[in-house]
Amino acid sequence: MRRLKIIIAGLIATLGLGLVSLSAPVVLADGIEEGLNIVKDNNDTLDRDLNTSVIQIINTVLLVVGIIAVGFLIYGGVRYIISRGTPEEIKNAKNTIMYSIIGLIVVILAYAVVEFVIKGV
């Protein structure tokens, strides 16, 4: 169980670092002066671009988390199959399956909330 927690923490940390690395090229791609000129000249376009970028980042995060949840669902199924009838291993496998299904439900609800907010804005 401790190993699973370490793996999950590592995946979350990797995901967080990945998001930072995705946003860094966007920030560094243009010079500071060009960015300031865009803000001065075209604030409405910048707002739309920012909204689009935020939406894409949120959708990407939800996709990755959904894929991870499905991966844990498969992992739990494999653990259940190879448990050899041991009650403790069966219990752990069932918990993995249950928590991955809860994770999928949370991802689907988060996607619905994000879509609702986007349509409302």
Segment 102-114 mean pLDDT? 88
Rounded to the nearest integer, the mean pLDDT of the chain is: 74
- Crossing angle of helices 43-81/2-29, nearest 10°? 160
- Return the pLDDT at 95: 92
Q: Which pTM was predicted?
A: 0.54
- Return the pLDDT at 91: 93
Segment 57-63 mean pLDDT? 86
Note whether 87 and 77 are within 8 A (CB): no
DSSP characters for 51-87? HHHHHHHHHHHHHHHHHHHHHHHHHHHHHHHTTTT-H
Q: Is the pLDDT of residue 84 over 50?
A: yes
